[in-house]
Amino acid sequence: MSSKDLNTGAVVGVRGSVVDVRFDKCLPPVYSLLRAGENGQIVIEVLAQRDARHVRGIALTPTQGLARGSAVSDTGGQLKAPVGKGILSRMFDVFGNAIDRDPAPAGVQWRSVHRAPPPLARRSTKSEIFETGIKVIDVLVPMERGGKAGLFGGAGVGKTVLLTEMIHNMIGRQQGVSIFCGIGERCREGEELRREMKDAGVLPNMVMIFGQMNEPPGARFRVGHAALTMAEYFRDDERRDVLLLIDNIFRFIQAGMEVSGLMGQMPSRLGYQPTMGTELSQLEERIANTDTGAITSIQAVYVPADDFTDPAAVHTFSHLSASIVLSRKRASEGLFPAIDPLQSSSKMATPGIVGERHYGISQEIRRTFAQYADLKDIIAMLGLEQLSPEDRNVVARARRLERFLTQPFFTTEQFTNLPGKLVSLKDALDGCERILRDEFTDYPERALYMIGTIDEAKKSVKPDLPTPDGKPKPTATPESEGKREQPATTGGKPRQKARHAS
């Protein structure tokens, strides 16, 4: 297209990232991409047509140097993302530019990031379990192939660590493609993730795309759509299963809130945009299981001030097939992954999908944890000795289950010096069932902490066997084991421990 044929306009107002442009010849449609600046380095996406001559758009790049009267050209298209085999093992920004200091990828196509979700006629109706190799998730919160799972939690409870562990486990076991979408995260995390994935040998089947916190809200708002466009290519054209990891979906909502405020829309409850539900649905509905393949999504969800009634968390809950809630209390106790089994839930946890045995074991585990939670107040006030023998057994069982459901991760080996463990669903269920049947009452709780399969407990620690007179050796109670972790204090001073004869 010659310069004479270009549809050009002029800037009439700039307010931060919001730009108003006048076009006398032809008004660009919504989602059109406009370019301004000396070299066209300022990119603007049209979000509204204000009247017959004016459009209002949001800048996807910084707007330094833009002034009233600056020339703006209509590119005649929408924001596009690269797709094809050439994008594997690469890192991109929202415009599809490679940011890993390697040459631009060859042999790629460019597709618009604004695509409709697959029609209902193409969607698969089968419900299949997606194994992760992490015990507490596979047993209590099973994930769905082609579904969406959310990792909910405040800052510092382990969302990103759990996400990277799932990447490591799944790419090693599944012959699919993994796409990591960093929305509003730090460049340091992206660099570390790339190095870890390269060391693990899984980078050739992975694509990373980032819209970082230092970028304008428009770029963060569109990077999720660009990642989904890449995922849809592998699902529909290559007919491969795709694992889409989004860190963090709250930053997408936050970017939409910033864009909405800049566009002059009246905010709704707690300052969120009035169109939050629609914008989130446009993104989430494209993640689907079709007749050609499946896009399985795991999304980290930052919960502001640990408040699960926040509108961002509530709207995200409605789209998920599994909600994995991370607990700050469990993290402080060293129980990693710090997943709260009573708050977490999955739509897959039904007898018709996971089977009667799996369903029965998971329900019994939940009942045990619920009873233990009710007894904690009594233990704190009166002590473990005041409980009935049945209740003491429940407490011991729950504490052993808590420790067995911890697991050392491959991605944290360098920090913990514990080799990572990958546990099959069958082994995880066997271990839980044997603990519930009181097979490990003679073993100390520490034998079950940070292990893989249940047989590792038998190898590491010998049980407390009966004494020669036939009486069982006294074992440490759960309460005393918990107390042993910290020195007891009286009036703020450490209590002197009694000396025992050797």
Report pLDDT for 369: 96
- The answer to whether residue 502 sits within a structural domain is no
pLDDT at position 155 is: 80
Query: What mean pLDDT comes out for the span 88-93?
Result: 93
For the segment 220-234, the average pLDDT, to the nearest whole number, is: 95
The answer, yes or no, to whether residue 498 has pLDDT greater than 60, is no
The reply to whether 106 and 233 lie within a common domain is yes
CA gap 211, 215 in Å, rounded:
7
pLDDT at 92 over 50: yes
Q: How far apart are CA 226 and CA 212, in angstroms?
A: 14
Domain that includes residue 433, residue range: 357-464
Measured CA to CA, the distance from residue 41 to residue 280 in angstroms comes to 29
Least trusted range by pLDDT, from 161-165, 360-364, 420-424, 483-487 = 483-487
Per-residue pLDDT band at 311 (split at 50, 70, 90): very high
With cut-offs at 50, 70 and 90, classify the pLDDT of residue 105. very high
345 and 285 in one domain?
Answer: yes
The pLDDT value recorded for residue 474 is: 46
| pLDDT score at 490 | 37
Query: Which of 77, 92, 119 delimits the end of a domain?
Result: 77
What pLDDT, on the 0 to 100 scale, is given for residue 497? 39
Q: What is the pLDDT, as a whole number, of residue 185?
A: 77
Distance CA 21, CA 43 (A): 13
Mean pLDDT of 386-405: 94
State whether 235 and 218 are in the same domain. yes
Residue 433 lies in a domain: yes
User: For strand 489-490 and strand 493-494, is the pairing parallel, antiparallel, or unpaired?
Assistant: antiparallel
Is 483 within a domain?
no
The reply to whether 361 falls in a domain is yes
Which DSSP symbol is given to 326?
A: B
**Whether residue 177 sits in one domain with residue 135:** yes
- pLDDT of amino acid 5: 64
**Residue 202, pLDDT score:** 78
The answer to whether the beta carbons of residues 191 and 180 sit under 8 Å apart is no
pLDDT digits (tens, 9 = 90+) for 110-160: 999 999 999 999 988 888 888 899 999 999 999 998 889 999 888 888 888
- Would you place residue 459 in the very low, low, confident or very high pLDDT band (cuts 50, 70, 90)? confident
Q: Is residue 464 scored above 70 in pLDDT?
A: no
> Among 309, 328, 349, where does a domain finish?
349
Whether 327 is in a domain gets the answer yes
* Same domain, residue pair 460 and 314: no
- Residue-wise pLDDT tens digits, 230-240: 999 999 999 98
Take residue 204 and report the two structure tokens written for it.
């050739």
* Mean pLDDT in residue range 4-30: 90
Instruction: Identify the CATH number of the domain in which residue 425 sits.
Output: 1.10.1140.10
Can you give the pLDDT at residue 462? Answer: 66
Mean pLDDT across 317-334: 92
- At residue 13, does pLDDT exceed 80? yes
Higher pLDDT, 315 or 472: 315
* Residue 311 shares a structural domain with residue 365: no
Record the tokens describing residue 345, joined without a space.
Answer: 């839930």
CATH number at residue 43: 2.40.10.170
More confident of the two residues 500 and 225: 225
Is 374 found in the same domain as 306? Answer: no
CB 431 within 8 A of CB 402: no
Look over the chain and give the mean of its residue pLDDT values, rounded to a whole number. Answer: 87
Number of domains in the chain: 3
**What span, in angstroms and rounded, lies between the C-alpha atoms of 30 and 77?**
10
Q: Which of 191-205, 250-264, 299-313, 478-492 is predicted with the least confidence, judged by mean pLDDT?
A: 478-492
Give the model's pLDDT for residue 316.
93
Give the model's pLDDT for residue 4. Answer: 55
Q: Which sequence positions are flagged as catalytic?
A: 159, 185-186
Write the DSSP symbol of residue 103: P
DSSP 458-492: HHHS---PPPTTSPPPPPPPHHHHHHHTS--EETT
Please identify, among 77, 99, 125, the residue that sits at the C-terminal boundary of a domain: 77
* Pair 333, 364 in one domain: no
More confident residue, 166 or 253: 253
- pLDDT of residue 475 exceeding 80, the answer is no
10 against 265, higher pLDDT: 10
Residues 406 and 270 in one domain: no
Query: Does 500 reside within a domain?
Result: no
pLDDT of 173 = 66
Q: Based on the domain organization, do 230 and 155 belong to the same domain?
A: yes
- How far is Cα 246 from Cα 207, in angstroms, rounded to an integer? 12
Segment 23-44, tens digit of pLDDT? 998 999 999 999 998 888 999 9
Identify whether residues 60 and 161 lie together within a single domain. Answer: no
Quick one: 27 and 175 in the same domain? no
User: Is residue 494 in a domain?
Assistant: no
